[in-house]
Structure 1
Amino acid sequence: MNWINNVVRPKIQGFLQKRDTPENLWIKCPETGEMVFHRDLEQNQWVVPSSGHHMRISSQRRLEFFFDGGVFETIPTPEVSVDPLKFRDERRYTDRLKDAKAKTGMDDAVIVATGSVKGLQITTAVQDFAFIGGSLGMAAGEAIIAGLDHARKTGTPFVLFAASGGARMQEGILSLMQMPRTTAAIRLLREAGLPYIVVLTNPTTGGVTASYAMLGDIHIAEPGALIGFAGPRVIEQIIREKLPEGFQRAEYLLDHGMIDMVVHRHEMPGTIARICSLLMSEPVKAKPVPVAPPEPAEEAEETADADA
């Protein structure tokens, strides 16, 4: 009886018991509702293969996808005062920062890096929406300015991947001051004759759209990205009218002349490299074309004799 209770019954229960399924094994496409295996998404740079929907990705992944071989060097950014206004709403601002840092492994919403893209040296800044909605605060502003200054000193193009909900309210007027500060840094880059290219990702809204995100020489957007100042729901409530289909999406803005092009994530490095090559008059590194080896002379003579 003990043998049945201690051996047989636990084995049967273990066989019939439902096994735990790992979380996030399957991911649902927001557009079609299709369930996609997470490894397929990873291999496709987090673009749903069937619908082409571009999922949000971390700043680290974006840099790996953008630079040649995923190799890049991060640029240190200045430190700023933490919680200068001692802000608190439902929680302390310092607690929100700690949670965001633990969640993303970042110091703030912007990472600046430099590396090679198709053989061209480029300086890049990436906003991460996972860090308090990619909001613009003092640290993010200092990071963007540091990236612009590095590009100006090294003579490299500057590429910004924007993803933000706007200015960070917990820093009040200090966050709004980053709008004119970044604008002034862009002006210095332009005076140096260096390209400033903006890639608008989903979403790019608020004070970021009202400042440096719309001051580029070339504006590129990922497919389906939401781009605007206020959200469509707020606009509908204000004007009390139904907005057009696809309003504030990348394709709508392209049709109405607000951006220059909509580019798939897979084609982003090559497109930006070609634009920088044209603006900088530097050649793009092309992939080597395999050439068939020449036929040996002896074999060619034997073939000619046989034909004769």
Structure 2
Amino acid sequence: MTRAWTLASRPSGVPADEDFALIDIDLPPLKEGEVRVANRWLSVDPYMRGRMNDVKSYVPPFQLGAPMDGGAIGEVVESRADALRPGDMVQHMAGWRDAAVIPAAAAQKLPALEVPPQAFLGQLGMPGMTAYFGLLAVGEAKPGDTVFVSAAAGAVGSTVVQVAKAKGMTVIGSAGGSDKCAWVRDLGADQVIDYKADEPLVKALGRAAPEGIDVYFDNVGGQHLDAAIAHAKPRGRLAICGMIDMYNTGAPTTLRYAARIIGARLKIEGFIVSDYMDRADEFYREMGALLADGRFRREETVFEGIEQTPAAFRGLFTGENRGKMLVKI
């Protein structure tokens, strides 16, 4: 018998315990081309909040009463596929449960990098790829640019900081609280803004970047996006990855300085990491080189036990994570 989390009701605001239910499910016998995977690590990510609403999006909403899904790392324990054998560690999307039967084609064998397997759910997985391609492909960041990144202590933001520094850019990060700000500085950020301080963000960014910013990597929306638009240089680029400020409230960002988009010829582009999956080899090559040179650091916040998955997810919205938020089974 396998345990899986399901959505019991559609949350209003930050999801509560009663919005989730841990249920028992039966796994079917293996068919040809399938594998049975015992999950070892589960990922929780901000985008999952949108899937808890019954609205159309780029990812279908979770269905009430059905097992939820998300990124996971597991061990193949049974296989009817030539490509995978028992003992192989794989990444797949049948998370929020302790085991799964999936097509072998839906499981990616972990790349041969000298890192723990859970790293491929964080800075060497989807969040890392989001950071890498959002910064370099969408934001078109180049050596000498000044880059502003919000949520710089998170899995995506901390990767943006390090990739930007490795590529010769000046980095301004935003994080909440003195501990997180100190860590972002340790990662190499030239300046760090504590968004929980009393100073308005638009004023703090103006002080940190008196000549303006070339690129903004947005994980937050809200006042961070307003400040970035206010201080973007002519032809500045804004890569919109997420807007965690509004995921639980539904409140739109104000776009208080939107008129500057016209006069400064700003480029604002949203993106989804799946747009760049065909360039995954480039990402692993580049990140592998940074790892080998000792120029890349990872951080994880780990909740123990599948029972803690909803609590880990809620922690994303209350600032409990530094680096990648994970659940260890």
Please report the TM-score for the alignment, with normalisation by the length of structure 2: 0.27
Instruction: Kindly indicate which of the two structures has a greater share of residues assigned to helix.
Output: 1
Please report the TM-score for the alignment, with normalisation by the length of structure 1: 0.28
Instruction: Kindly indicate which of the two structures has a greater share of residues assigned to strand.
Output: 2
